[in-house]
Structure 1
């Protein structure tokens, strides 16, 4: 009976592999330690379990998707995206609507998926500091990040508007819960940009990627930087003298979308369903300290209480942070980005 069962399972596996043999997806993400973590926790295991061939690329974001869709030459099947970028891309008609009868989000945290993008991880935009420069007692607020007398030294700051204006307003004394109300006008946006202008003489680098800001801190090229918590954790694991705080951090999530006209749309939908399962998401924190969007991942036993305490989506850490407002980005980002770019080129 046991032999028969094994043979039956083997036959089923062979059948599944044969069915998936001609299936493939091309996935684009942002490279560096982030994509490496995605690959190890999600892409490679799911490919092995489904038989779907996975081809990975790095890309420059939704501008690449826009070009492919507009020219009718879509080669990407799945793209990793920030939640705000995905919301804007969906509004432009650049993404396929996801089929949630295929992708099970019944155990996802609320609001960590949309019609066009399913959450892949939760992360935080934090301020980090060089412990050789300041010791373990570095800045504990955005006001501290701006305080060049109390914390002299060079800074790195984001070179695009996403996640750049909110810290500036908090540094200027605006309470976290009032930030997006203040930003709901060009005057409020200008106030935030003026605050960044104030710090600009001390900003050595306006970074453009997660890999870049992590490398800057790892190499000690700047004394402080804004950036993503998981990237800083990996920089520290690689020997960088890096610490950060979740206090006043920006709580956000990354997600996966399917470009409009993707050549392997149905297979992409199947693959997203697979990597959205808790059995994959609970492995992500082994490679990068981002929290799962599928809350069932905390119940599998793979994520210890100690590890959970260092994840952005843990209750204690989430309570310290300002959740990103996708509504604000949908309404204001284009205008704010133009204003921000003007400041950068002054």
Structure 2
């Protein structure tokens, strides 16, 4: 009898272990202080609360997803993505449709989720400056950023088209609300590229990652750069002499998507549902100054009024910014990026 009970108990334990093994997701993000913040605020607590085993990787963006899907060897279950890249990937058929009967977005800000990507945080693409070079009186518009006579010094700019053309348009004097109308043709894109060409002799670095933006400012390698607000706040905490402005910044969001053919699709959906809850999202600004996409995160008491004032999605800061157009990126990103890469190699 004891032997039978022992065998039954062993079988149960094995079954439980096998079940636990099944509850695994591989999450890919961009590394640096951003992924560290995601890990501390979202991934690790959600894993502890659900029992889902989370494997983290860093990746190079949707180009990696495209390669995995096209080769039929998908190893990633969840990927962090910029909203524009996700829109383009969805249009290419690279992503699974999300199940919003599982993921609750009833308290999300409008426009911060799509059929294929659920918002994880709100951020801003800003112009940042070295306070050792300019003091507190750095640039206050994109026209200032492009003005090398008023603000002489070395610049850094993005090596991809996302977030690169809109600043050039505003530097040309185009009103924020008209930027995407002006960019809705190859001629308009070329006009923005011409403005960047003018600045190119003063651009020492075309950055490729958020970690690089932060390092450039920490090292004082450039006097001014474009980049993501949270990276600069973390760099300042690490001693970088850096400030930025939300005026004319690009208001955008990062999201989470599931690659087509993900090996653990159902568990991934369950995990996305968990990290979309306010009790996780309210912790993210503690580690990096990106705003939550779930409005209820502002009501838990974790995000103080002082903290909210420094977040991109606070009403005061959001009012100064240009919301990024996903429609424009879905339509133009591939063509615009080809034109942009050609400009870089000239």
Equivalent-residue separation in structure 2 for 1:200 and 1:293 (angstroms): 35
Residues 180, 325 of structure 1: 8 Å contact kept: yes
The aligned length equals 332
- 1:258 maps to 258
Q: Is the 8 A contact 2:231 2:288 kept in 1?
A: yes
Matched with 1:161 is: 161
Deviations 1:78-135 (A, max 9, x none): 0000001111111111100000000000000011000000000000000000000000
**Is 1:291 aligned to residue 295 of structure 2?**
no
- Distance (whole Å) between structure 1 residues aligned to residue 159 and residue 206 of structure 2: 4
Aligned to 2:36: 36
1:114 corresponding residue in structure 2? 114
Return 5+ residue gaps in structure 2 as ranges: 1-15
The Cα of 1:17 is off from its aligned counterpart by 9.6
Q: In 2 relative to 1, CA 17–48 (structure 1 residues): closer, same or farther, beyond 3 Å?
A: farther
State TM-score, norm by structure 1. Answer: 0.94
SS where residue 317 of structure 2 aligns? helix
Matched, 1:211 2:211: yes
Moved over 2 A (4+): 16-22
Cα deviation, 1:195-234, whole Å, max 9, x if unaligned, reads 0000000000001111111110111000000000000000
Separation in 1, partners of 2:262, 2:21: 19
SS in 1 for 2:56: strand
Q: Equivalent residue for 1:224?
A: 224
Match of 1:96 in 2: 96
- Residue 332 of structure 2 corresponds to 332
Which residue number in structure 1 is paired with residue 138 of structure 2? Answer: 138
Does the 8 A contact of 1:103 with 1:272 survive in 2?
yes
* Number of the residue aligned with 1:342: 342
SS in 2 for 1:296: helix
Quote the Cα distance in structure 1 between the aligned partners of 2:318 and 2:244. Answer: 15
Distance, in Å, in 2 between the alignment partners of 1:206 and 1:22 is: 42
Give the superposed CA RMSD.
1.3
Q: CA deviation at 1:18?
A: 9.0
> What is the alpha-carbon distance in structure 2 between the residues aligned to residue 17 and residue 180 of structure 1?
53
What is the rounded CA distance, in whole Å, between the counterparts of 1:315 and 1:17 in structure 2?
Answer: 48
Is contact 2:79–2:259 with CA below 8 Å preserved after alignment? Answer: yes
Within 5 Å, which residues of 2 pair with 1:176-215? Answer: 176-215=176-215
| CA–CA separation in structure 1 for the residues paired with 2:61 and 2:311 | 25
1:241-320 residue pairs with structure 2 within 5 A? 241-320=241-320
Q: Which residue of the partner structure matches residue 5 of structure 1?
A: none
Deviation of the 1:150 alpha carbon = 1.0
Contact 1:130–1:241 under 8 Å retained in 2:
yes
Q: 1:61-80 counterparts in 2 under 5 A?
A: 61-80=61-80
Helix, strand or coil for the counterpart of 1:42?
helix
The answer to whether the 8 A contact 1:132-1:241 is kept is yes
**Unpaired runs of 5+ in structure 1?**
1-15
Aligned pairs for 1:121-132 (under 5 A) are 121-132=121-132
How far does residue 22 in structure 1 lie from its aligned partner after superposition? 3.4
CA contact (8 A) 2:88 2:333 kept: no
